[in-house]
Amino acid sequence: MPNLDHKNTILELQDISFSYATDEVIKDVSLSIHKGDYVGLIGPNGGGKSTLLKIMLGLLRPQKGIVKIFNQDINHFKDWQKIGYVAQRNFFDASFPATVEEVVMMGRYGKLGFFHFPNKIDQKKVHQALQQVEMTEFKNRSIGDLSGGQQQRVFIARALVTEPEMIFLDEPTAGVDAKTQKQFYALLEKLNKQLNLTLIFISHELDILAHQATELGYINRTLDYFGDPKEFLKGEYFHELIGKSGIHH
């Protein structure tokens, strides 16, 4: 099991509200995420999941409330190499002319800075990341020649080479088959437990998250639940919320 330390809060939202023009998307959301947590965020389409993720990443600034990351106000936070991000697969141009190894090396560029070329340490980090996601044998393949599930493993490796403490994943299994999804979730569980990586995962796959995540959040403008996934399944939340949300179970 990961080393869950609920004294070590690394991301905190305090009374967050956000509106697009007059449309309030997030209202009075508060939560704490701790080192080693595997957090699943679920909710209906349009319920605010992606907006909340962008607020956590500092891409949107809430009209109300405070975001703290590694005990710093997010507006003053500079050490973004501690944060990894994996987007939906359909954001990727499959014709992009790069090998798997080159795509993963892109994750090191933030550490390298301008006019610096990868050295042996960078190469070692890339190889380690490819081993961690079990994609070493594909390192010389064109990224566009891989399956959707393989591409997502490469993008996780690209996030891992910065040696992050926390990775955000925005529905990365969208559009891949059930077998590939199962393999992908098994990889995330391994990274969470073996590397003690903190994961924040947006998904519609409640059944898998309920068995793997350490914390589950249900958001539909407000945060209607945040806590033990198994308690969510047993409680009144499941029947009241899931039946009308379109979430997979």
The percent of residues above 70 in pLDDT, for the chain, comes to 86
Summarize the confidence of residues 39-48 as an average pLDDT.
90
Summarize the confidence of residues 161-165 as an average pLDDT.
91
| Mean pLDDT over each residue of the chain, to the nearest integer | 86
Query: Which has more pLDDT, 207 or 9?
Result: 9
Provide the token pair at 167: 């990775």
Provide the token pair at 170: 């925005």
Give the tens place of pLDDT for each residue, 47-103.
Answer: 999 999 999 999 999 999 999 999 999 999 999 889 999 987 655 666 778 899 999
pLDDT of residue 4: 55
How far is residue 106 from each of residues 126, 132, 170, measured CA to CA in Å? 10, 17, 20
pLDDT of residue 1: 46
Summarize the confidence of residues 194-198 as an average pLDDT.
92
Give the tens place of pLDDT for each residue, 106-142.
Answer: 888 766 555 567 788 889 999 999 999 999 999 999 9
pLDDT of residue 49: 92
Nearest to 171 by CA among 18, 29, 49, 12: 49
Sheet strand arrangement including 166-170: 83-86, 166-170, 198-202, 38-42, 215-220, 222-227
Query: Which has more pLDDT, 177 or 196?
Result: 196
CATH code linked to domain 37-47+79-244: 3.40.50.300
pLDDT of residue 115: 54
Provide the token pair at 137: 């044998």
8 Å CB contact between 233 and 202: no
How far is residue 6 from each of residues 9, 122, 154, 222, measured CA to CA in Å? 6, 33, 31, 23
